[in-house]
Amino acid sequence: MNKYLSRTAIAAVIVAFGSEAMATEWNVSLWGKRRAFTEHVEKLAELVAEKTGGEFTMNISYGGLSKNRENLDGISIGAFEMAQFCAGYHPDKNRVITVLELPFLGVSTLEEEVAVSMAVYGHPAATEEMAQWNAKLLMTSPMPQYNIVGTGEPRDALAEFEGMRVRATGGLGKAFESVGAVPTSVTATEAYQAMESGVVDTVAFAQHAHLSFGTINQADWWTANLNPGTVNCPVVVNIDAYESLSDAEREALDSSIPEALDHYLANYGQLLEQWDSVLAEKNVTKVELPEAELDAFRAKAADPIRAQWIADMEAQGLPGQELYDLTQQALKDAKMTN
């Protein structure tokens, strides 16, 4: 009997080790802390684990694997299997998707942001450029239009933006520069310190980031209707890791993306509904710029920056005009659907 049990125990150990060896475990590189901006990744991990009975799991790290500006590099060398990054952190590495950061694209809802982003992600030029980094675009991290918080007297006219030091990246930085502001592209995790130390006067973020990174705690005012655009932050996977998945694992991953994005949208919607109470609680003044000032901002930022972006892309052999037209068609289709 003892001999029989001993053999059974050994067999059980072998089976257990074999199962463990066959399980797939991905490392995921994010930054900051869990927040509205990362909820779709958290949900994706949950869904994939459920669908595979725990055989495909994701270890999500908030800053423990890489700095946010280096996530794409980490993906390229296989340091981890999945990561999130923002196009404005290194526009030279992801030129195609910077079309989504052009100011005043006309996007007004998170659902429209998803539709426009996924349309661009599916374009061959985006696929090919990301493949150079061994990266596959998986899903977007939709954010509402950025607005700025600042200290001191509210700035409610373009003339008051002259010389204003603002944390803004990519196309947003160019938009503020067009009206005399001085943009700086410090990362999200550096924004609070930059504001506290006086490196910047103002910070441009979506609502969740003003909360998560503490800039709202230093603010005296917030622009409610500036809405110059937003940044684009995709979630990517290492191509080799993706292709090494079994058919069942790949199906579990791909099929979970829509539900993960739906969860993100619902969660972010709750945050937006509570935003006014957040401002009141922190005694932050809501600033509304006059429509004439907004029109002047669009005239200086939208058309010239878009034209320059298209020309720059075409000069580099990329279909700049085609990509811009794609955003507008996807936006038109999304507005009709909604």
* pLDDT recorded at residue 21: 52
- In whole angstroms, what is the distance from residue 117 CA to residue 109 CA? 12
Question: Does 18 reside within a domain?
Answer: no
User: Is the CB of residue 231 less than 8 Å from the CB of residue 143?
Assistant: yes
- In whole angstroms, what is the distance from residue 61 CA to residue 300 CA? 41
Q: What is the dihedral of CA 200, 108, 331, 305, to 10 degrees?
A: -30
Same domain, 34 and 174: no
Same domain, 249 and 261: yes
Which amino acid belongs to residue 226? L
Render each residue's pLDDT in the chain as its tens digit; 338 residues: 444 344 444 444 444 444 445 799 999 999 999 999 999 999 999 999 999 999 999 999 999 999 999 999 999 999 999 999 999 899 999 999 999 999 999 998 999 999 999 999 999 999 999 999 999 999 999 999 899 999 999 999 999 999 999 999 888 999 999 999 999 988 889 999 999 999 999 999 999 899 999 999 999 999 999 999 999 999 999 999 999 999 999 999 999 999 999 999 999 999 889 999 999 999 999 999 999 999 999 999 999 999 999 999 999 999 999 999 999 999 999 999 86
Same domain, 220 and 248: no
210: its two tokens: 């003003």
Q: What contacts 293, CB < 8 A, 6 or more positions away?
A: 156, 157, 158
Same domain, 55 and 159: no
Range of the domain at 32: 25-94+109-141+232-272
Number of domains making up the chain: 2
Task: Return the SS3 of 25.
Answer: strand
Task: Return the SS3 of 79.
Answer: coil
Same domain, 37 and 167: no
Question: Does 157 reside within a domain?
Answer: yes
For helices 291-315 and 320-337, give the axis angle rounded to 10 degrees: 130
Residue 25 sits at φ, ψ, to 5 deg, of: -130, 120
Same domain, 152 and 174: yes
- In whole angstroms, what is the distance from residue 133 CA to residue 94 CA? 9
Same domain, 188 and 253: no
Question: Does 87 reside within a domain?
Answer: yes
- Please report which helix (H) or strand (E) contains residue 320, including its range: helix 320-337
Same domain, 219 and 119: no
Domain CATH number, residue 64:
3.40.190.170
161: its two tokens: 């933006």
108: its two tokens: 């007004």
CA distances from 77 to 80, 96, 110, 273 (A): 8, 21, 32, 41
Residue 82: CA count within 13 A, CB half-sphere: 25
**Which residue do the tokens 């103002």 mark?**
202
Q: Which residues of 233-251 are buried (b: 16+ CB within 10 A; e: fewer)?
A: bbbbbbbebbeebeeebee
Same domain, 165 and 310: yes
Same domain, 72 and 114: yes
Question: Does 20 reside within a domain?
Answer: no
Longest dimension (CA), the chain: 90
Question: Does 15 reside within a domain?
Answer: no
Question: Does 116 reside within a domain?
Answer: yes
Query: Residue 191 class from Cβ within 10 Å (0-12 exposed, 13-18 middle, 19+ buried)?
Result: buried
Same domain, 190 and 295: yes
Q: In what order do the strands lie in the sheet with 165-167?
A: 182-184, 165-167, 202-205, 147-150, 221-223, 285-287
pLDDT tens column, 262-288: 999 999 999 889 999 999 999 999 999
Same domain, 168 and 217: yes
Question: Does 250 reside within a domain?
Answer: yes
Strand 147-150 versus strand 202-205 pairing type: antiparallel
205: its two tokens: 């973020």
Q: What contacts 63, CB < 8 A, 6 or more positions away?
A: 30, 31, 32, 189
Question: Does 316 reside within a domain?
Answer: yes
User: Is the CB of residue 278 less than 8 Å from the CB of residue 222?
Assistant: no
